[in-house]
Amino acid sequence: NAGVTQTPKFQVLKTGQSMTLQCAQDMNHNSMYWYRQDPGMGLRLIYYSASEGTTDKGEVPNGYNVSRLNKREFSLRLESAAPSQTSVYFCASSEIWGSGGGTEAFFGQGTRLTVV
């Protein structure tokens, strides 16, 4: 059981290049998320998808687009990369658990992106 898998693990881009970060989960979760984490900082939510077919902006959506391809996969696209997007990107998934509600989220190992 792999949990949440992100690809690639590392990437270097030149300013203006585009790329797509891939994320897949095998836990049949409805909700998926993309975060970025800058050095020494907490996680900031970029986009999320509450369920298949829906996506919504988080705290820092500018410069990014997402696609919820199916229930398993949620991709993050940088159309024109900028040095300010140098960060570690984490994908996560979650589902309601237990009879009382509440949510446990599972995170991938991250993608380290450097834009030069």
Q: Please state the separation of Cα 13 from the chain's center in Å.
A: 18
- 71 near 30, Cβ under 8 Å? yes
Q: How far is the CB of 58 from another protein (least distance, A)?
A: 7
**Of the candidate residues 22, 44, 61, 67, the single one contacting another protein (CB under 8 A):** 44
Cβ nearer to another protein, comparing 11 with 17: 11
Q: Which two tokens stand for residue 110?
A: 């991250």
Q: Are strands 64-68 and 74-78 parallel, antiparallel or unpaired?
A: antiparallel
Cβ nearer to another protein, comparing 19 with 50: 50
Residue 45 is a binding residue for another protein (CB under 8 A): yes
**Which of 55, 8, 2 has the alpha carbon at shortest distance from 27?**
2
Q: How far is the CB of 84 from another protein (least distance, A)?
A: 19
Residue 33 is a binding residue for another protein (CB under 8 A): yes
Span 72-111, contacts to another protein by CB under 8 A: 90, 92, 94-96, 100-110
**Residues in CB range of 31: below 8 A, 6 or more apart:** 48, 49, 50, 51, 93, 94, 95, 103
Residues forming the site for another protein (CB under 8 A):
4, 30-31, 33, 35, 41-45, 48, 50-51, 54, 56, 58-59, 90, 92, 94-96, 100-110
